[in-house]
Amino acid sequence: MSLTVGVLAIQGDAHENITSTQIALKELGIDGKVIGVKTTEDISKLDGLIIPGGESTTIGQLSLVNSSLKIIKEKIERGMPVLGICAGMILLSKSVNDHVLGKTNQPLLNLLDIKLERNSFGRQKESFEAEISMNSINIPKFNGVFIRAPSVSDVGPDVEILAKFNEKIIAVKKNNIIAVAFHPELIQDVSLHKYFVNLIKKLKTN
Ligand code: GLN
């Protein structure tokens, strides 16, 4: 069995996520390839998708225009695993408020029952790194890189909280959907990418 993992490559940190996922597959000894997803045709081939960090309004708007937002949503609803990182976390949410601007009217996938606050930790120059833990998925120590990161102010039923930082929720999971506020592709440690690849393998086998 070979896995095809896609990284949405419209805008943002696609390249770094492709590299981290390739390393994760190699370290796990799982046969698979990683593709940058640019067209709607690419989406049909995928066993799993990473929506990278970047600018959620840009990624959302461009995906809306080329219909990929709708096609991605349908695939995730049918069970395709997705890892949303920072802007990707925002796009997966059902409800988004900006820390400064309030209600945003941006295109969303509307899949994850969470209330999300954009730019929750301040501006670009307030970016920081912090040690976090995701014990429930066996990642007790992880270096979180926060760049204009969102946080989750409320979770709906069955949404599992994976991590908090300074009392704010920064990583969640519901079934095939994982969303994190920090950037795992910017560090050497690929344990979160490995966890995601293993989830894709497990859900493809079932
Ligand atoms: N704050 C950005 C947004 O709203 C996300 C930042 C990031 O992905 N690093 O899209």
Which residue ranges form the domains of the chain, and what is each CATH number? 3-205 (3.40.50.880)
44-72 pLDDT, tens digit each:
999 999 999 999 999 999 998 889 999 99
Q: Distance between CA atoms of 192 and 185, rounded to whole angstroms?
A: 9
Say whether 185 is catalytic: yes
Atom index in ligand 1 nearest the CA of residue 183 equals 9
The encoded tokens of residue 103 equal 């209600």
Q: Residue 56: CB within 6 Å of ligand 1?
A: yes
Range with the lowest mean pLDDT among 43-47, 100-104, 120-124, 180-184?
100-104
Q: Residue 115 pairs with which residues in a beta bridge?
A: 95, 154
Q: Give the DSSP H/E element, type plus range, for residue 63.
A: helix 56-65
Q: For the whole prediction, is pTM greater than 0.85?
A: yes
* Rounded average pLDDT over 168-176: 98
Whole-angstrom CA distances from 189 to 20, 79, 130, 141, 166 are 9, 27, 14, 10, 22
Q: Residue 106: CB within 6 Å of ligand 1?
A: no
Say whether 167 is catalytic: no
Q: Is residue 154 pLDDT above 80, yes or no? A: yes
Q: Residue 96: CB within 6 Å of ligand 1?
A: no
CA Rg, the chain, in Å? 15
Degrees to nearest 5, angle at CA 179 with 153 and 16: 130
Q: Residue 93: CB within 6 Å of ligand 1?
A: no
Give me ligand 1 centre to Cα 1, in Å: 35
